[in-house]
Amino acid sequence: MPAPIPRRAEHAERQPSPGWNSRLLVLVLLGGLWGSAVVGRLVYLTIVRHTAYRQMALRQQQRIIPLNPMRGTIYDRNGHELAVSLPVESCFAVPKQIKDPALVAKLLSRILGIPERDLQKRLNTDSTFTWVERRLPPETVARIEELKLKGIYFEKEMDRFYPDRDLASQVVGFVDIDGHGEAGVEYEFNKQISGKPGELYVLADGLNHYYQRSERPPVPGANIELTIDQNIQYIAEKQLAMEIRKTHAVAGSVLVMNPSNGAILAMANWPTFNPNLPGDGTPAARQNRAISDVYEPGSTFKTVTISAAIDSGAVTSNEIFNCQMGHIVLAGHVIHDWHPFGLLTVGQVLMNSSDVGAIKIALKEGDATFYRYMRAYGFGSKTGIQLPWESPGLLRPPSKWSGIAIGAMAMGQAVGVTTIQLIREISAIANGGMLYTPRIVREIEVNGKMVRPVLPPPRRVISATTAATMRHLMEGVVLKGTGKYAQLDGYTTAGKTGTSQKINPVTHRYSHRNYMSSFVGFAPVSNPAVVTLVVLDSPRGKTWYQSEGGWTAAPVFRQVMQQVLNYLGVPRDLPVQPMVEQSARLRSRRPSLSRRTAALEKASLHATQLAAAAASAKPRIVPRGMLVVPSLLGETERAAAARCLRLGLRPRLEGDGLAVLQRPAPGTVVSRGARVSLRFALRPALVQVKSGSGDAPGN
């Protein structure tokens, strides 16, 4: 038998093939590369792009809603609130949470009065926040909340409110929808008043459900106290509005200043507006024309001409000038006076407002001296009052003057001023020659304490002797000159009238119809407490004379000053004249009165005689619980009301000015708490007493 072939062992070790080793190596390499890529990507995402992705996550999860701070309160000098901030609800939406924007827009449109299309635009977005409507009244908020709409929320904001509406509106100013000051003190001190805004943080999950909220509260703004007195402001605005209605003037301003420190007590402008609804006002109504309007001052500027000449020694107050019967030739131009005057002293030039006399005085002092004093008074530059958009006026240097310029400036032409500049100049004459920076802000809150702003110190413009001389000359203007209608009862008064022609915008020549009429003055003369300036733009009168400052602006000055001095309790330096004497004085100055007016004045005389007789009669016995009605005739509204309230009577007031009619009559015995009806009028001559049956006149 053949030998058996030996079999290969089954468990012998197999040798790996070269192909298998290659595949394993590739697999290891690929795994290493993949791992490196993953690690690299993780490093890139967690380290390199950490900040960016963190911010992205926050944007997706966090909603930031700005929170406006409470603006500081604006007060008048007596602590009366002129501007306050009140919390209100504002409605906002998270569009991603709203499943049916069309339906939500339709429901909200009915409540808010916003077009449905506009609301759909706001809600059909990918944004996480959008305002629906801001600063809603409580009843509107309640109606929206009743709908329980998903994605509609509310947030408290601060709304600006002006309790006195249009009172001092151009001074206080207003804010926009975001609470930023747009005019007046609100704009000038916006940084201090507005405070620092806060933020509301809201976290949302992947389904846009809010699950956490926190906030950084806003920092309230600083409070501000103005120099304005709301009572004096009301008097100025009321009298200005009455004269505007009477004369149909286009516009006007009344400024009241304390000459001893430059504090503005009232800054009234017409037309005016309601800062709660600033959009309803016109640009002209929102303009503070007392500091922005530039006009030719006319004869009020003669106070600069004459005071500069006296202070520089060029003339004396008693020096005589030949006014050449009302005309003078200057650089080939004939200038006519308003009246043919002959020889006049410097005081008479001011008293009669002679243009020729003023020109001759200016020629004697010379261009350089005249310009130096105009600049010293502050004309041609801003006063620095703490309000925006003040105009510097217009004053050219002598190098740019024409041959007739000094003559035109001497009588208040060819120079542009603002009312704040002019009252500042007159205040310097009133206080003894010191020029103060006008101020409208009395105190401002700094670190919880009220602090007075630091202003430049006053500087001397004219000597105290020159100022005293000018006060005496300006008193003559009121006593014997063009300012007779400005005379006050119980106070010595000084002032100056002004009437300047406006430039016709079409012909670029002086208009023979439109004038700027003004009066500026102060009282009492020896120690002035208040300076008041009245400017009327284009008042209408039957004649030119009835449009000039002495006829239109001077009576407004008188009404404002009489009430302001009484309100401030300034001591009188003249005896108060009886109403009959006032009536006689007014009749001697004004044109012939109507039959009705004459009859009323006759009743006034009869009433005064009855009152005098009652005063001399024996005193009556008044039953317990009763009292005798005093005579309130001739009193201002405030004084009469205060006196009634002190006695326990209920006043009923009608009209403006001084009390001219009273019922029950003075001397009537009434029970405590009885009503006393008083009628006020601008002309004190029209004083009456209406007596019912059994009413006994008395003091």
- Residues 247-272 have pLDDT tens digits of 999 999 999 999 999 999 999 999 99
Q: Is 194 exposed, middle or buried (0-12, 13-18, 19+ CB in 10 A)?
A: buried
Are 547 and 540 spatial neighbours (Cβ–Cβ below 8 Å)? yes
SS3 374: helix
Question: What residues contact residue 415 under an 8 Å CB cut-off, 6+ apart?
Answer: 296, 297, 301, 374, 379, 393, 394, 395, 408, 409
- Picking from 39-43, 354-358, 487-491, which range would have the lowest pLDDT averaged per residue? 39-43
Are 697 and 610 spatial neighbours (Cβ–Cβ below 8 Å)? yes
Each residue of 133-160: pLDDT tens digit?
888 888 888 899 888 898 898 888 788 9
Average pLDDT in the 322-339 region? 92
Average pLDDT in the 106-131 region? 86
Question: What residues contact residue 546 under an 8 Å CB cut-off, 6+ apart?
Answer: 552
- The band of 18, judged by pLDDT with boundaries at 50, 70 and 90, is low
CATH 3.10.450.50 fits 64-225, yes or no: no
Structure tokens that stand for 603 in this block: 């009743």
Are 165 and 82 spatial neighbours (Cβ–Cβ below 8 Å)? no
pLDDT at 345 over 70: yes
Closest CA to 123 of 143, 155, 151: 151
Whole-Å CA distances, 122 to 87, 93, 129, 204 = 25, 9, 10, 20
**Helices 637-647 and 549-568, interaxial angle, to 10°?**
30
Mean pLDDT score of the chain: 83
Separation of alpha carbons 169 and 83, rounded Å? 10
Fold for domain 595-689?
Answer: Trypsin Inhibitor V; Chain A (3.30.10)
- Secondary element (H or E) of residue 55: helix 50-61
Whole-Å CA distances, 635 to 471, 489, 643 = 28, 11, 10
- What is the second-level CATH architecture of the domain 230-275+289-443+458-576? 3-Layer(aba) Sandwich (3.40)
Separation of alpha carbons 364 and 263, rounded Å? 35
> pTM above 0.75?
no
Give me the pLDDT at residue 510, please.
Answer: 82
Within a 10 A sphere around the Cβ of 134, how many other Cβ atoms? 15
pLDDT at 108 over 90: yes
Separation of alpha carbons 663 and 494, rounded Å? 36
Helix/strand number for the chain, H first, E second: 22, 27
E strands of 506-648, at which residues?
510-523, 530-537, 626-628
Average pLDDT in the 102-116 region? 90
Sheet holding 210-216, edge to edge: 62-67, 198-204, 210-216
- The band of 84, judged by pLDDT with boundaries at 50, 70 and 90, is very high
> Which DSSP category does 76 fall into?
-
Give me the pLDDT at residue 129, please.
Answer: 79
Residue percentage of the chain with pLDDT more than 70: 82
pLDDT at 609 over 50: no
Give me the pLDDT at residue 696, please.
Answer: 29
- Secondary element (H or E) of residue 654: strand 650-655
Give me the pLDDT at residue 47, please.
Answer: 75
Average pLDDT in the 8-22 region? 58
Separation of alpha carbons 375 and 613, rounded Å? 60
Closest CA to 550 of 486, 623, 621, 633: 486
Sheet holding 494-503, edge to edge: 264-270, 251-257, 530-537, 510-523, 494-503
Each residue of 617-664: pLDDT tens digit?
444 455 666 778 888 887 777 677 767 766 777 777 777 667 778 888
β-bridge mates for residue 99, sequence order = none
Give me the pLDDT at residue 548, please.
Answer: 82
pLDDT at 310 over 60: yes
Domain range annotation of the chain: 64-225, 230-275+289-443+458-576, 595-689
Separation of alpha carbons 315 and 469, rounded Å? 12
Q: Give start and end residues of each alpha helix (H) in 652-691.
A: none
Closest CA to 694 of 652, 664, 654: 664
* DSSP symbols for 376-403: HTTTTS----SSSS----B---GGG--T
Separation of alpha carbons 79 and 599, rounded Å? 46
Give me the pLDDT at residue 60, please.
Answer: 58
Residue with the larger pLDDT of the pair 506 and 365:
365
**Helices 579-589 and 595-616, interaxial angle, to 10°?**
160
3-state secondary structure 309-369: HHHHCCCCCCCEEECHHHEEEECCEEEECCCCCCEEEHHHHHHHCCHHHHHHHHHHHCHHH
Residue with the larger pLDDT of the pair 363 and 53:
363
- Picking from 298-307, 448-457, 499-508, 640-649, which range would have the lowest pLDDT averaged per residue? 640-649
